[in-house]
Amino acid sequence: MPLTFRSTCEEDTGRLGRALAEALPPGTVVTLLGTLGAGKTRLVRCVAEALGIDPETVVSPTFVLVREYQGRRQPQGVFPLYHFDAYRLRDEDEFDQLGPDEYFDGGGVSFVEWADRVWLSIPPDHLEIAIAVTGPRSREMTIAARGEFPSAVVEAIGEKIT
């Protein structure tokens, strides 16, 4: 069952970011869908901050296509965060040249912005977050388990943000 989260300010988005940082198991692929300016990179910054990464260092990887950050999470210790942006890619072949499977299997969490442009390269078992702009500062985020991704993780996220 998908979870709907309404954010009316950056603090709300930060709360969701902290919940994701705590709940997502290593190896999770998160697809981020939404229009330009919807807040995809902002959400990744919030997750990064919750993992102890300076959020100012987290920028959209639009031109470099993938960025890697090393965070910390107890009890795992070092916890990698991989941030992809498929906006400027022509097709899945270009995405595949980045070696996403190595990142997806890298023991961290991978966030893929504009994942709808590279669906064939996304593992069938992933977490999907669709962000809809509902106002100048408000967003509606729909969080759903896809494939065999555990729905219990979505439930855990829901418990942490309520």
Looking at 44-48, 94-98, 112-116, which range is the least confident one?
A: 94-98
Architecture of domain 3-161: 3-Layer(aba) Sandwich (3.40)
Please give the angle made by the CA atoms of 78, 2 and 111, to the nearest 5 degrees: 30
Q: Is 13 helix (H, G, I), strand (E, B) or coil?
A: helix
Mean pLDDT for 65-75 is 78
Model pTM score: 0.92
> What is the per-residue pLDDT across 100-142, written as a single tens digit (0 to 9) for each?
999 999 889 999 999 999 999 999 999 999 999 999 999 999 9
pLDDT band at 64, cuts 50/70/90?
Answer: low
- Name the residue ranges covered by the structural domains of the chain: 3-161
Sign of CA dihedral 100, 104, 110, 111: positive
Which pLDDT score is estimated for 89?
85
Q: What does the alpha-carbon distance between residue 92 and residue 25 come to, in Å, rounded to a whole number?
A: 25
Beta carbons of 127 and 28 less than 8 angstroms apart: yes
Tokens 């097709």 sit at which residue? 91
CA distances from 114 to 7, 41, 89, 92, 162 (A): 20, 11, 10, 12, 27
Mean pLDDT for 34-44 is 94
Q: What percent of the chain has pLDDT over 70?
A: 94
Which pLDDT score is estimated for 74?
59
